[in-house]
Chains A and B, each alone.
Chain A
Amino acid sequence: MSGSIGIVSAQRAIFDTPLTFRSGKVLPRYELVYETYGELNADQSNAILVCHALSGNHHVAGLYADDPKNIGWWDNMVGPGKPVDTDRFFVIGLNNLGGCHGSSGPSSIDAQTGKPYGASFPVVTVEDWVESQARLADLLGIKQFAAVMGGSLGGMQAMQWALSFPERVRHVLAIAAAPHLTAENIAFNDVARNAILSDPDFHGGDFYQHGMVPTRGLRLARMLGHITYLSDDAMADKFGRSLRSGKLGFTYDIEFEIESYLRYQGDKFAAHFDANTYLLMTKALDYFDPAREFNGNLDKAFAAARADFLVLSFTTDWRFSPGRSREIVQSLLHNHRNVSYAEISSTHGHDSFLMQQDHYHEVMRAYLDRIGGEISA
């Protein structure tokens, strides 16, 4: 039977060893919030790290006793009897550095100044995240992950694990990911960033001291992003050209259902997400490019990998299209890595990786059963 993991609670890890970022900046001290589900087995061989995407966090599965409506963002995938079976695996979700859900980030207090980091928080890269995640693994006594997995930006972190710490990960599950962003993708991110940067309430990133929040910019950024995570078909199905009042109003108010939906999504997001974190996350996406130090040769970048890979894409995902996943697969093939690739038929665009879909979950379950079979009970 599959069900919810039930009540979960977040934990906090404090790191006093300075972390040097790829940019050269140093954080002398930082904190990571995380959740764990299931039990770590005696030989620490059943740990799975779930990496989050742009707006995700450590709350992957289950719900909170004091906030039962706050269900984890990948609760359909992670739990007892689910593809990532918490009866079998010890699953870790964390909020990445630079986040706004409890880990050190631009909105948290810099102990050296007593004020929020704001614009002074280092620009974080996927490599920096993986380094900080490895330190969390050290703390939890995990020498090698059975798997590191994630969708979108989370999939990039999973791949980076195989490159930064080849001996510390046996399987990488890269879902709806890409070996790097295309120019078009960076362009979308830049428009989103510009919406935030040009909001007068942004104050160069130090809006906290001004008692302001660049809500308008963040809202626009999210609306734009949201469009790119859906597909034309999904939007047509869900909203079409429906008008809220049933007739044209000849105004600039909300008229079409899609406008209403997008503004609602934008408002919801802007109310709880940090604008600086949004900037950081989009920059981490833009910078991810493991082939860069090999003159663009992805085959050479993957030469370091020792893990087995499962690569998944979704047919209607145009932000991280199947073609981008096939580039990953080709480079893994050229390096003779064990790799399986599935192209999942789905109407939900990039967001498909978060959806409950039978075939997608069957593929995940089959692969995770294989991983489970390699683990001593």
Chain B
Amino acid sequence: MSAHDPAELAAARPDFAAIAAWIPQGASVLDLGCGDGSLLRFLRDTRRVRGYGVEISDANIVACIRNNVNVIQGDLDSGLSGFETRSFDYVILSQTLQATRHTEALVQEILRVGRAGIVSFPNFGYWKNRLNILRGYMPVSKELPYQWYDTPNVHLCTLHDFEDFCATQKVQILDRRVMSGGSEVTLLPNLFGSTAVYRFQRGI
């Protein structure tokens, strides 16, 4: 099987499958911090989306082009001024929220450019992370693979943090999926979930 077989990717990245489940066929999608373009490719193959990625790293630009997805090189922290208001059905921020500098402004920009937004992020409240802290160390795991000194993650949060943040930002949460090791977590998600995915829109 190829590295981009949709079934294989869905198994390897449960957040991809969760995101795809929310995206209607043929939707337009902007993926911020799209990495090597795997998610966009997955959404194109499974949901026939018309998609674009935004990415800053040179190596990922080449990877996206090789993955046959549209990619625009740019820095999310300098805003989405190149994108028209309401020009996408969904704007996705997959495993990138925690690495953005101007997080508040970016979430507002997501809801300007997109009719709805989707974010996924590693849950800092996951019990293993808490255990690491209790032991006196910064957590290092599959979801948080960096050492404290080389991490790009400057805005880590828990599910509670993110939900409080949405309330203050007038962001209405539409759906939430919390996962750990590929399976869904319903019991005490802020403790037992390692990754969270939210679908949201502008609140009133």
How far apart are B58's CB and chain A's nearest CB, in angstroms?
A: 5
Sorting the interface of chain A by its residue count into under 10, 10 to 19, 20 to 34 or 35 or more gives 20 to 34
Q: What CA separation (Å) do A334 and B50 show in the bound complex?
A: 13
Within residues 271 to 294 of chain A, which ones have a CB less than 8 A from any CB in chain B?
Answer: none
Would you give the 0/1 interface string for B61-101, flagging 1 where the beta carbon is closer than 8 Å to chain A?
11011101011111000000011100100000000000000
How far apart are B160's CB and chain A's nearest CB, in angstroms?
A: 36
Taking CB atoms, residues of chain A closer than 8 Å to B82 are 326, 329-330, 333
Contact B71 A341 (CB under 8 A): yes
How far apart are B84's CB and chain A's nearest CB, in angstroms?
A: 6
Contact A366 B58 (CB under 8 A): no
Q: Is B200 interfacial (CB 8 A cutoff)? A: no
Contact A340 B72 (CB under 8 A): yes
Contact B65 A370 (CB under 8 A): yes
Taking CB atoms, residues of chain A closer than 8 Å to B83 are 333
**Most chain B beta carbons < 10 A, residue from A326, A366, A370:** A366
Q: What CA separation (Å) do A339 and B61 show in the bound complex?
A: 12
Main secondary structure of the interface of B (DSSP, over half): mixed
Q: Is A362 interfacial (CB 8 A cutoff)? A: yes
Q: Which of B52, B66, B70, B84 contacts A369 (CB 8 A)?
A: B66
Q: Is A363 interfacial (CB 8 A cutoff)? A: yes
Q: Which of A336, A363, A366 contacts B50 (CB 8 A)?
A: A336
Q: Which of B28, B62, B87 contacts A362 (CB 8 A)?
A: B62
Contact A370 B72 (CB under 8 A): no
Q: Which of A310, A333, A367 contacts B87 (CB 8 A)?
A: A333
Q: Which of A326, A330, A345, A366 contacts B65 (CB 8 A)?
A: A366
Would you give the 0/1 interface string for A349-360, flagging 1 where the beta carbon is closer than 8 Å to chain B?
000000000010
Sorting the interface of chain B by its residue count into under 10, 10 to 19, 20 to 34 or 35 or more gives 10 to 19
Q: Which residue of B lies closest to A337 (CB)?
A: B70
Taking CB atoms, residues of chain B closer than 8 Å to A334 are 84, 87
Contact A363 B72 (CB under 8 A): no
Contact A339 B68 (CB under 8 A): no
Taking CB atoms, residues of chain A closer than 8 Å to B65 are 310, 340, 363, 366-367, 370
Contact A341 B72 (CB under 8 A): yes
Q: Which of A340, A359, A369 contacts B64 (CB 8 A)?
A: A340
Would you give the 0/1 interface string for A91-112, flagging 1 where the beta carbon is closer than 8 Å to chain B?
0000000000000000000000
Within residues 153 to 168 of chain B, which ones have a CB less than 8 A from any CB in chain A?
Answer: none
Q: Is A8 interfacial (CB 8 A cutoff)? A: no
Q: What CA separation (Å) do A359 and B59 show in the bound complex?
A: 8
Q: Is A27 interfacial (CB 8 A cutoff)? A: no
Q: Which residue of A lies closest to B83 (CB)?
A: A333
Given A329-B82, A333-B82, A370-B66, check contact A342 B61 (CB 8 Å). yes
Q: What CA separation (Å) do A250 and B64 show in the bound complex?
A: 57
Taking CB atoms, residues of chain B closer than 8 Å to A339 are 52, 70, 72
Q: What CA separation (Å) do A71 and B127 show in the bound complex?
A: 65
Q: What CA separation (Å) do A81 and B64 show in the bound complex?
A: 21
**Most chain A beta carbons < 10 A, residue from B50, B61, B74:** B61
Given A329-B82, A359-B58, A363-B62, check contact A340 B70 (CB 8 Å). yes
**Most chain A beta carbons < 10 A, residue from B28, B52, B74, B84:** B52
How far apart are A173's CB and chain B's nearest CB, in angstroms?
A: 12
Taking CB atoms, residues of chain B closer than 8 Å to A369 are 66
Q: Is A343 interfacial (CB 8 A cutoff)? A: yes
Q: Which residue of A lies closest to B75 (CB)?
A: A343
Where the two chains meet, the residues of B that have a C-beta atom closer than 8 Å to any C-beta of A are: 28, 50, 52, 58, 61-62, 64-66, 68, 70-74, 82-84, 87
Q: Give 18 CB contacts A-B under 8 Å.
A: A310-B65, A333-B72, A333-B82, A333-B83, A334-B84, A334-B87, A339-B52, A339-B72, A340-B65, A341-B71, A342-B58, A359-B58, A362-B62, A363-B61, A363-B65, A370-B65, A370-B66, A370-B68
Other A-B pairs, 7, CB within 8 Å; known A336-B50, A366-B65: A340-B71, A341-B71, A342-B61, A362-B62, A363-B62, A363-B65, A369-B66
Where the two chains meet, the residues of A that have a C-beta atom closer than 8 Å to any C-beta of B are: 310, 326, 329-330, 333-334, 336, 338-343, 345, 359, 362-363, 366-367, 369-370
Q: Which A-B residue pairs are the 5 nearest by beta carbons?
A: A366-B65, A341-B72, A366-B66, A342-B73, A342-B61
